[in-house]
Amino acid sequence: MKIALIQMNSISDKSANLAQARRLVEEVVAAERPDWICLPEVFDFMGGTRAEKVAAAEVFPEGEAYGLMRDLAREHRVHIHAGSMLERIPSEDRLGNTTVVFDRAGAEVARYRKIHMFDVTTPDGQDYRESATMKPGEDVVTYDCEGVTIGCAICYDLRFPALFQALVARGAQVIALPSAFTLQTGKDHWDVLCRARAIETQTYFAAAAQTGQFQQGGETRATYGHSMIVDPWGLVIAKASDGPGFVTARIDPARVAKVRGQIPVAQHKVPLT
């Protein structure tokens, strides 16, 4: 299976973001013919005010972003793991930070809402309070992609190993992590954490990232980029540099089985209290 990661510089302009997403998907399809494509976190809208986020959000399966991903999957006969999008949840003030996955026919096959909320102050003093606008999800989600089991996570989830162990317990051979890691944390933690999760879970780890600057609350903020695909041994087999673009790699489920046979950590787990 050939997989592709789309790296974007999304901003608080939904139309521009969707145009960028369409262009990059069409470019990677033309150049590489992948079987599966993953976009970054909130590819449809980054930054802006709370009111602008709410206005950009969609009630699935309606809306431009949802419709674009569905139509691209159907048109190009490719699986699309649609990063995450702003989801308007009926009878709820907060939004969902939500992954939707489409098969080659454009049918929705999985939906995952980000579980862990990014409520931190980064080393440069910027405050991030994701829980003020986003409602956390509760469900651990995997799905089948032509015989390969793929697990779902989003960005800040990366720091919580228990989620990834739960995905492995549900059969995950690949884990997808759409992300918008900050520049401040990304430069020190991104590579280490992505490789650690791949090594711990003995899965392919596919992390599609936002890159570059965006505006929020009158501040200029920056994301780290460096989308990467890590193999089950922890080797980085594809990595993007700065700026929008894409990377691809071929993955082999037999490699997952081989690594798990070499170091059978699943068999060596000891229950702890």
Helices vs strands, H then E, count in the chain: 7, 17
Alpha helices in the chain (DSSP H): 14-32, 50-56, 64-76, 161-169, 183-201, 253-262, 265-268
Q: What is d(CA 154, CA 116) in angstroms, rounded to the nearest whole number?
A: 8
Q: pLDDT at position 124, please?
A: 76
Mention every residue, 6+ apart, whose C-beta is less than 8 A from residue 150. Answer: 36, 81, 101, 142, 143, 144, 172, 173, 174, 175, 176
The amino acid at residue 188 is D
3-state SS assignment for residue 55: helix
Banded model confidence at residue 123, pLDDT cuts 50, 70, 90: confident
Per-residue pLDDT tens over the stretch 173-189: 999 999 999 999 999 99
Q: From the candidates 14, 53, 114, 135, which is the catalytic residue?
A: 114
**156 neighbors 116 (Cβ within 8 angstroms):** yes
Average pLDDT rounded to a whole number, residues 120-134 = 84
Domains of the chain in start order, with CATH, are 2-252 (3.60.110.10)
Per-residue pLDDT tens over the stretch 205-226: 999 999 999 998 788 999 999 9
Q: From the candidates 38, 145, 152, 155, which is the catalytic residue?
A: 155
Q: What is d(CA 191, CA 186) in angstroms, rounded to the nearest whole number?
A: 8
2 is catalytic: no
Facing residues of 36 across strands?
3, 79
Q: pLDDT at position 230, please?
A: 98
Facing residues of 210 across strands?
8
239 is catalytic: no
Is the pTM higher than 0.75? The answer reads yes
Alpha-carbon distance values, 216 to 87, 106, 177 (Å): 19, 33, 23
145 is catalytic: no
Q: From the candidates 14, 41, 58, 87, which is the catalytic residue?
A: 41
Whether residue 126 is predicted with pLDDT greater than 90 in this model: the reply is no
User: b/e string for 105-118 if b means 16 or more Cβ within 10 A?
Assistant: ebebbbbbbbbbbb
Average pLDDT rounded to a whole number, residues 100-122 = 95
**31 neighbors 4 (Cβ within 8 angstroms):** no
Q: pLDDT at position 120, please?
A: 86
